[in-house]
Amino acid sequence: MALFFYAQILLHILGGIAGFLFEQHGEKANRLTHGLAVLASAAGILFSLGILLIGKPWALEWQGSFPVGALRFVANPFSAFFLLIISFLSLAASIFAIGYTREFQGKKNIALLGFFYNFFILAMLFVVTVQNAFYFLFFWELMSLTSYFLVIFEHERPETRSAGTLYLIMTHVGTAFITAAFLLLFIHAGSFSFDAFREAASTLSPVLKNVIFLAALIGFGTKAGVIPLHIWLPRAHPQAPSHVSALMSGVMIKTAVYGLLVFLFNFLGETPGWWGHVMLAVAILSTLLGILYALMENDLKRLLAFSSIENMGIILLGVGMALVFRTLHQPLYAGFALIAALYHVINHAIFKGLLFLGAGSVLSGTHTRNIEGLGGLIRRMPWTASFFLVGAMAIAALPPLNGFISEWLTFIALLLGCESVSPAMRFFSPLLAALLGLAGALAATCFVKAFGISFLGKPRSERAAHAHEAGGFMKVGMGILAASCFGLALTAPWILPMLGEAAKTLSATDISMTGLTQKVFLMSPSGSSQFSPLLIAMILSVFLLGTVILLRLTFGKQHVRIGPSWDCGMPGLEPRMQYTATGYSKPLRRIFSFLYQPTRRVELEDEGHAMLRTAQRFESKITHHVDEWVYQPLSELVVDLSRKAKQIQTGHIQLYLSYIFITLILLLLFFGGRS
């Protein structure tokens, strides 16, 4: 089994350097670098599945000569779960990339793209398996830097460079907090080893625990893109090549979930009750604001990026409930909530990866991400439309797709709070469930807009009118993920035990799965509800098949006439008569105007009289309060301080030598006085 892990590492390294051995801008570099990534991901899938099915952990240790401790990798059911997600999505994205990156040939350095792409995946694999804080931070930084260079791959555009700079700043702010959390543990445990952190967990003081928790939450929350630490995510993800966007939204932000879970359930031991409440507050804020901002977006990839913030909130709702139940000494309920969170981790990786690949196919076929400039693509890109529809239905939590399963589990986990001994949880749990239901309805509305305006109706631009379907590799990549959206739902009763093993490995709690699955049924721990994804799929299939047969029997022999669409008595329907993306979301903009605080500008042109109007332009935008209230003033403060600091930069070496001399004198006085 270890052979597959070694093969995965070796193939990614070869994939990173192979492109430079051939034509760096051509087809050979493309096929080699992404083809080897496909093989590496396949090896990773076999390795992680072996660990999950057998349940026996695997470890590799290299002592080395560094004073920071051994370089140790461990693949237990918990880390193997994340290995599987990374490898599976990388497989589909790499196949897609073989077709997608052809448009860069002759224009961009494909070998360089492949280098950063393979080492980006490699860094994520090491992050979820390494067992030493020093090396964790090393691989975390490698993951951040390689993803930065992928974000700015098309650096000719100013918005790409700006997004990359913001991403680099925010990711290093997050890394600083993660480093602080690790250093506090190191000072207390005397070692960088994860095992030493676990052993020292019971001896941590409450104050130190709280400081480490807050540092870890801010650090990993920044990488996860939770509100209010999210500002980089909707700007950076859309600028990266689409297969990279799929990995960043699908799995890179999940490494933050991995790190946060390890801190909460391994390193910090018993947790105070307010941690769970803080986690739930951050989660519901991210869930609601993420989807509300996604609803207002007309850039397809930015819409998907904001939706990732919402789904990270849903994952953290499960994590928050697990913390609450653990504090209340209800291990079965805590395990169930943790399973719900892990299920949504893999489900979101699959359907968000599919949607980003679908958006990449649209971008490749039309060369625009603006929904207002699309329309009618279902006729010109039927395969892409079908795959995107599957992803949209999955993210909207419609049965019988995978998003429905994990959101149902999360709903149940929230409602289980009504059975807790805490009066506060009995009050807030139904409220949180209702807010999650509201977010689900808004998500459905959002993706009706994304699919309907983009793929239905008439083309709204020449680019949409001349769109072309994706190539074979791109369709295969999307098809794998679309099929997985069904597979992860229909096989839920068999997936849940594997997630139970992963949760048990993480929390060191024996989670009984006998009460959660019965044959093809999923059960609530309290026994209050149950359902079968397989049975629902069969009922829906029979209903649809019966409807088709009934229609054929009733109308099959009648002559079918094809006529023009009803045009309200106005022949010659034009694309400008259709609903726009802005018009579709206008009612919600009005309902939530207290949040959006929209501003609009109308420009009218006429020939001296209002009746002789020649042109009319309308512009509307919403307010992003976190940006305006927090980051914009902070940015202005940094710029102001930089201008003041610039005054001491005179360019005269004598002055710089004076600075050094004064500093040395002060250091001698300070340390000399102490000795």
pLDDT mean over 73-96? 96
pLDDT digits (tens, 9 = 90+) for 228-264: 999 999 999 889 999 999 999 999 999 999 999 999 9
Which pLDDT score, from 0 to 100, does residue 550 have?
85
Give the E-state strand segments of 63-109 in sequence order: 71-75
pLDDT digits (tens, 9 = 90+) for 49-64: 999 988 788 999 887 7
Which pLDDT score, from 0 to 100, does residue 623 have?
81
State how far the Cα of 245 lies from the Cα of 161, in Å rounded to an integer: 16
pLDDT tier at 557, thresholds 50, 70, 90: low
pLDDT at residue 41 is higher than 80: yes
pLDDT at residue 597 is higher than 60: yes
Give the contacts of 466 (CB within 8 A, at least 6 positions apart).
none
pLDDT at residue 674 is higher than 60: no
Which pLDDT score, from 0 to 100, does residue 419 have?
82
Which pLDDT score, from 0 to 100, does residue 344 have?
96
Q: Largest Cα–Cα distance in the chain?
A: 103
Which pLDDT score, from 0 to 100, does residue 263 have?
95
pLDDT mean over 501-519? 77
pLDDT digits (tens, 9 = 90+) for 471-504: 999 999 999 999 999 999 999 989 998 999 999 8
pLDDT digits (tens, 9 = 90+) for 321-348: 999 999 988 888 899 999 999 999 999 9
Minimum mean pLDDT range among 172-186, 383-397, 568-582: 568-582
The terminus-to-terminus CA distance of the chain in angstroms comes to: 58
Q: Which of 88, 59, 62 is nearest to 1 (CA)?
A: 59
Which pLDDT score, from 0 to 100, does residue 516 have?
78
Burial 603-636 (b: 16+ CB within 10 A, else e): eeeeeeeeeeeeeeeeeeebebebeeeeeeeeee
**Sequence ranges of the domains in the chain:** 273-512, 625-674
Give the H or E element holding residue 247: helix 242-247
% of the chain beyond a pLDDT of 90: 58
Which pLDDT score, from 0 to 100, does residue 46 have?
95
CA dihedral 144, 150, 152, 156 (to 10 degrees): 170
pLDDT digits (tens, 9 = 90+) for 417-440: 888 777 888 889 999 999 999 999
**Contact 249/305 with Cβ under 8 angstroms?**
yes
Which pLDDT score, from 0 to 100, does residue 558 have?
64
Which pLDDT score, from 0 to 100, does residue 614 have?
64
